[in-house]
Structure 1
């Protein structure tokens, strides 16, 4: 599994309510994306940084999303260029499903 973390240094702080509105407007875009099984939106306490944590089946599926068009859409919504950092996720604890998953299983 791959975890991708995106972040945007916002040109001006946004409130929780503003972030929620923006996030709800973009959330439908991520439904049904191949290989993406969860996305969590993020907002820093000071409202100056926004982003997301994406959980993917593979790096190639993640990279298929983060295109120039995705970056342009993010820049338009947030007024900032996004960064994307990839992490291998060799073990995942899922308390909802009451499971621990290890890569390669």
Structure 2
């Protein structure tokens, strides 16, 4: 498993309702996506950073998802270029089936 943290930082604060709207509009393509365990849309406490966190079942799928084309599209959506970090997930707790 691989985790990917995508962080958007801008000088102005992100508006919570705008991030919630983005999450609502963009969730569809991710539902049922092969190899994607989950994705979250997040906003830090002071609104300076919007973050998306992904968990992929397979490292190759996780890394290959973030193409230059996709990075360009999300830069337009969020108004800031993303910083993309990859993490080796060595343990995972999933209570969603409980």
**TM-score, normalisation: structure 2:** 0.89
Say if 1:7 and 1:50, in contact at 8 Å, map to a contact too.
yes
Q: Is the partner of 2:93 in helix, strand or coil?
A: strand
Structure 1 residue ranges, 4+ long, deviating more than 3 angstroms after superposition? none
After superposition, what is the alpha-carbon deviation per residue over 1:11-58, rounded to whole angstroms, capped at 9, x for unaligned? 421222121011211111222332111001110111110011101011
Query: What's 1:2 paired with?
Result: 2
Query: What's 2:97 paired with?
Result: 97
Which sits farther off after the overlay, 60-69 or 27-36?
27-36
Which structure's CA Rg is the greater one? 1
Which has more strand, going by share of residues? 1
Count of residue pairs the alignment pairs up: 98
Aligned-pair RMSD on alpha carbons? 1.4
The 5 Å alignment of 1:1-105 reads: 1-97=1-97
| Gapped regions of structure 1 (runs ≥ 5) | 99-105
Give the number of the structure with larger relative contact order, counting CA–CA contacts within 8 Å between residues 6 or more apart.
Answer: 2
After superposition, what is the alpha-carbon deviation per residue over 1:74-102, rounded to whole angstroms, capped at 9, x for unaligned? 1101111111111111111122335xxxx
